[in-house]
Structure 1
Amino acid sequence: MEYANPVIPGFHPDPSICRVGDDYYLVTSTFEYFPGVPVFHSRDLVNWRRIGHCLTTETQLPLHTAGSSGGIYAPTLRHHGGWFYMTTTNVSGIGNFYVRSQRAEGPWSEPIAVDQGGIDPSLLFDDDGTVYFQTAQNGPQGEGIYQCEIDIDTGEKLAETRLIWPGTGGASPEAPHLYKVNGSYYLMIAEGGTEYGHMETVARSHTPYGPFEACPHNPILTQRSLPSSIQGAGHADLVQTPAGDWWAVFLGIRPPVYPKRHHLGRETFLAPVTWTEDGWPIIGENGRVCERMDAPALAPHPWPSLPVRDDFIAAELDPEWIFLRNPAPGSWSLEERPGHLALRGGEVTLDEIGPLAFVGRRLSHFDCRLAAQLDFEPASESEEAGMTLFMNGKYHYDLAVTQREGRKAVILRRTVGSLRTEQVFDCGFGPVELRVHAESQRFVFFFREANGSEIEVGWGETHFLSTEIAGGFTGVIAAMYAVSGGETAQATSAFFDWFDYEPLNA
């Protein structure tokens, strides 16, 4: 049997994995989005379902001032002594910290800070009880991977931080993971920057502090200079099955056309790991990976497909939904009008940093259909609500209901850096259906009034919302939003009756 890569499509970068019995758990980065660090569960390493988040409160994850690609950087997930540990970096706040829980679904503890600089923290629980803590930083001994020992109950450092390996000479040595395999310590890291030169390298030692010997087969994973649909592979983590087989999860990107530009973000991929006769791991087929590969020797365990429509009748939002930074109190509700998501905007717009009425989900397919039914009667031109395809505050496409010249209108706004265009269409009283047809190279926008025909209002190129154009570490988010131009309490509520996300050609 074969499986298809990526195993978790869309903006799910920096994966880290652990196994507990026959169950596999995985986390990824979230940057400026809330709640932070989604937790996925699988039985076969191929089919994953989101079961919650590690950081679900403002005290765990303050993001009020987090800018584009700020917030939460690469997490590591480990299980030891009946506890799950997730360590990560909030670059807009506490720095390096970890949380813990006896259940992967949570609830998770309050953050426990570790006084070590850098990013991409990781943990190794050694056989003698010592807990080693690694980060990537440009420290007093130069750029590379630094390590200390910590008290896992308090986060207190028990040994001084020191450099243990600078890598093989590639740019940005980062994403360290230290493993103990057959009595040796293997330090695996990413190098080359999280771009088209990305790669994974490994070294080993008889002690956790080195000296580390670099693998003669490095890089053990890279797609650089290959004519492959998968690019930028790296930032990997290893897991062993109960049968003794080894697998790696890692990030990669899929630029749909040349020139290479990707807008779905960095996604989570899977590949087998083999060990050479001289004891070195190699990921994939001699360090290369494909869109289709032989599946793990585990019983296939697919989860039920996600429904196309969310009609907002549940008591809580589905875990697929995320907020841009911490949501302002009163900015959203499932109770104001039962069976609807109510958004009440403030003065912060999509272009700005601050509390925003914004509820979105990751765009995870090149070809898909997005639609929402919106009941909103704006009181002024400063009030608007609708759908946005959002990369960051300088790059987004918006299909919204507002006022123009005293009349209700539908607008299509395209913001591309310092350039902005807006098309305006008259709209009558009552609910409006907003629709986007996503294709690999363009987004096409439509709206339909009650009992009316569908009207195409325009389109925008996907590559203007790509990392190569817009910058940053995230991917496109398809969101519902509202802006009032004033106080949230005085704003007109926007009621979303339902939201559809339908993959096409998947």
Structure 2
Amino acid sequence: MMIARRGLLAGLGGVGAAGILPFHSSKAHASAVGTGGDSPARYRRGFDNQRIPDLGNGIFLNPVVSGDRPDPSILKDGKDYYMTFSTFDAYPGLTIWHSRDLVNWRPLAPALTRNIGSVWAPSLHKDGGRYFLYIPVKASKGNDIFVSWADRITGPWSAPISLGLPDHIDPCHAVAEDGSRWLFLSGGDRVKLSPDNLSLAGEVEHVYDPWRYPSDWIVEGFSPEGPKIHFINGWYYMITAVGGTAGPPTGHMVIAARSRSLHGPWEHHPANPLVRTSSVDEAWWSRGHASLVEAPDGSWWSVYHGYENGFWTLGRQCLLDPVEFTPDGWFQMTGGDLSSPISKPAGGTAVQHGMALSDDFTGPLAQGSKWSFFKPDVNEADRVKSGGGVLRLAGKGEAPSSGSPLLLTAGDRSYRFECDIELAPEGRAGLVLFYDEKLYCGLGFDKDRFVTHQYGRERARPANPHGASMRLRVTNKHHIIIYDTSGDGGQTWHRFDRGMEVSGYHHNVRGGFLMLRPGLYAAGPGEAKFRNFKFTALDD
């Protein structure tokens, strides 16, 4: 059964006369994730008690990759599957993930190490035995789309090459029936590529006018973006996102068109939209930016992103939806609102899912696959020395806003993280929950006083009884933030007399398409020392 048909959506049940969408709590969402009965299915737990999708009995729960994993670009390469996501201002970025069954995924290594701007909706492809990444960026010195290539998926990847496309985002590589190479772009446009895929061979041309939804639907804006091209059974299928990426939960949607030729003409899918959140009661909001992929057993699936009900703070997470082709050559998504467990595709072998976020700092820092800097400078990596159980982080700036904090991507609704911190003389350091340089919270200290980070500003500075060394702990329990401090390595904890509520630390308040990420920072002169970083996801 396909959801989000035109008749179902036009009324948007529960929308008030003024067009206001009622908010539904995370408690209501949690009870909706189940098998259809009174006993909801529960996530299995992996590294650091983090939720994992594979329930171990032939079924899985979405998301398949949790946390901020937007704009998934997936590549089937023999028995292997590779996927990457938008990483925006986090560097190293564009980590490649690997799977053998589409449900269990593990990170490999980052493909982009030099800060070239905010990375939006990359596209991963293989052509002629070589891997390609097309990388759109938003940058103060000018927007562009870059291409990087590698002979092995794990790299080394070439330095990004500018294509000179400042007015488009969301590229997708495609090969036409005549062997020509093309890059499809936002807005229904495309441009011809050179045979080696590394430069343009023509001018941008408009080739497709996307299907339009009814004018009374509640959306963020038309915004045709994220084209994905697939050649299946003699048809070229173009899958596009319209309706805006965030904003109202009912805005983002998946539409499709097809053609016998990559050069068109394109015929709209008669059941558009194929995916759309129809109510704020659903488990996943703003679903869109879809691709098709064939599973090991020959079945077809779609990966796309969505916001978890009540948890915009986690960013857009990666979802997996079963696909069924119909006798007329069209296809439909069959997973409904993705709130219930779904049978896994058969075949393939499961890799160990995810990674530990805890870190004992006994070896080199896992930059890109685990840790990343926010808006780093060219030599940002020189600030870090990890080994022997200690992370040494040179101070930068005066606060997290100017200090390029070192951050993780956490995908659970509730979690706790803690760390031993030792200051340099006159230095400052602490733990943060960081959206961007203007919106973050956390707790830091110098040798005499604490500093509370609230709403992206530095506020109260109560006395610090522990001196230049202490263990800090931050708990995020469904958006409620609790701070604890310890002067004896965590044997005795003292509740800090200031908490936070951070459900509004997200894109629909601040913009930027990011997530609220846990991490650490060091400011001022010298270097701070961090030891025994422990992350623990908390059961809901």
TM over 0.5: yes
> Of residues 292, 311, 314 in structure 1, which corresponds to 2:341?
292
Answer yes or no: is the 8 Å Cα contact 1:463–1:469 preserved in 2.
Answer: no
Greater Cα shift, 420-429 or 6-15: 420-429
Name the amino acid aligned to 2:230. Answer: Y
Report the Cα offset of residue 94 of structure 1.
5.7
State yes or no: 1:174 paired with 2:228.
Answer: no
Counterpart position of 2:414 = 367
Match of 1:103 in 2: 152
Distance 1:41 1:135, change over 3 A: same
Say if 1:190 and 1:201, in contact at 8 Å, map to a contact too.
yes
Contact 1:236 1:250 in 2 (8 A): yes
Any conservation in 2 of the 1:331–1:345 contact (CA below 8 Å)? no
**1:455 equivalent in alignment to 2:489:** no
- 8 Å contact 1:185–1:205 — kept in the other structure? yes
Measure the CA separation in 2 of the matches of 1:304 and 1:147.
36
Indicate the SS of the match to 2:446: strand
Deviations 1:146-189 (A, max 9, x none): 01211142633333321111211251000011122222221110
Alignment of 1:339-354 (within 5 A): 339-347=389-397, 349-352=399-402
Q: What is aligned with 1:324?
A: 374
Instruction: Specify whether residues 265 and 204 from structure 1 end up closer, same or farther in structure 2 by C-alpha distance, changes over 3 A only.
Output: same
SS of residue paired to 1:351: helix
The answer on 1:393 being equivalent to 2:433 is no
Would you say the 8 A contact 1:224–1:232 is kept in 2? Answer: no
Instruction: Tell me: CA distance 1:115–1:467, structure 2 relative to 1, closer, same or farther (3 Å).
Output: closer
* 1:3 alignment counterpart: 60
Q: CA deviation at 1:124?
A: 0.8
Instruction: Measure the CA separation in 1 of the matches of 2:208 and 2:354.
Output: 43
How far the C-alpha of 1:131 sits from its partner, in A, is 0.9
| Paired letter, 1:9 | S
Measured in 1, the distance between the counterparts of 2:317 and 2:455 equals 25
* CA separation of 1:469 and 1:311: change in aligned 2, threshold 3 A: same
Deviation at 1:357, TM superposition (A): 4.6
Distance 1:346 1:214, change over 3 A: same
- The amino acid of 1:431's aligned partner reads S
Matches within 5 A, 1:452-491: 453-457=492-496, 458-484=498-524, 491=525
Pick one of 180, 189, 204 that aligns with 1:130.
180
User: In 2, Cα distance between the equivalents of 1:401 and 1:377?
Assistant: 11
Q: Percent same amino acid among aligned pairs?
A: 28
Match of 1:413 among 445, 448, 453: 453
Report the aligned-residue RMSD: 2.2
Change (3 A) 1:167 1:431: same
Q: Give the secondary structure class of the aligned counterpart of 1:266.
A: strand
Q: Distance in 2 between matches of 1:96 and 1:305?
A: 29
The change in CA–CA distance for 1:415 and 1:296 in structure 2 (over 3 A counts) is same
Output aligned runs, 1:192-341, within 5 Å.
Answer: 192-195=243-246, 196=249, 197-225=251-279, 227-256=281-310, 262-285=312-335, 288-303=337-352, 306-307=355-356, 309-317=358-366, 319-327=369-377, 328-329=379-380, 332-334=383-385, 338-341=388-391
Shift of the 455–127 alpha-carbon distance from structure 1 to 2, 3 Å rule, reads: same
Local SS of the residue matching 1:165? coil
Equivalent residue for 1:30, pick from 87, 106, 119 = 87
Q: Which residue number corresponds to residue 198 of structure 2?
A: 155
Partner Cα separation in structure 1 for residue 309 and residue 465 of structure 2: 37
- Tell me if 1:492 matches 2:526: yes
Q: What is the TM-score of this pair, normalised by structure 1?
A: 0.86
1:12 aligns with 2:69: yes
CA contact 1:332–1:341 (8 Å) conserved in 2: no
Residues 291 and 402 of structure 1: is their aligned pair in 2 closer, same or farther, counting only changes over 3 Å? farther
Shift of 1:290: 2.6
Count, aligned residues: 465
d(CA) in 1 for partners of 2:266, 2:326: 18
**Aligned partners of 1:201, 1:305: CA distance in 2, in Å?**
30
CA contact (8 A) 2:252 2:287 kept: yes
Matched residues in 2 for 1:33 and 1:305: separation?
Answer: 19
**What TM-score, normalized to structure 2?**
0.81
2:15 paired residue number: none
> Given the alignment, which residue of 89, 105, 112 partners 2:136?
89
Within-5 A mapping of 1:51-130: 51-56=108-113, 58=114, 61-63=115-117, 71-92=118-139, 93=142, 95-116=144-165, 117-130=167-180
Unmatched 5+ stretches in structure 2: 1-57, 214-221
Contact between 1:72 and 1:90, CA under 8 Å: does it hold in 2? yes
Change in Cα spacing, 1:312 to 1:219, as seen in structure 2 (3 Å) is same
Please tell me whether the aligned partners of residues 174 and 229 of structure 2 are also in contact (alpha carbons under 8 angstroms).
yes
**Equivalent position to 1:46, from 87, 103, 106:** 103
Whether the 8 Å CA contact 1:430–1:449 is kept in 2: the answer is: no
1:291 Cα deviation after fit: 4.7
Give 3-state SS (helix, strand or coil) of 2:508's partner.
Answer: helix
Aligned to 1:428: 466
Distance in 2, Cα, partners of 1:269 & 1:124: 24
Letter in 2 for 1:324: F
What's the CA shift string for 1:21-74, capped at 9, x where partnerless? 111000000111111211100011111011011112x2xx334xxxxxxx1000
Q: Is the 8 A contact 2:297 2:345 kept in 1?
A: no
Q: Which residue identity lines up with residue 434 of structure 1 in the other structure? A: L
1:251, distance to aligned residue in structure 2 (A)? 0.5
Change beyond 3 A, Cα 1:207–1:304:
closer
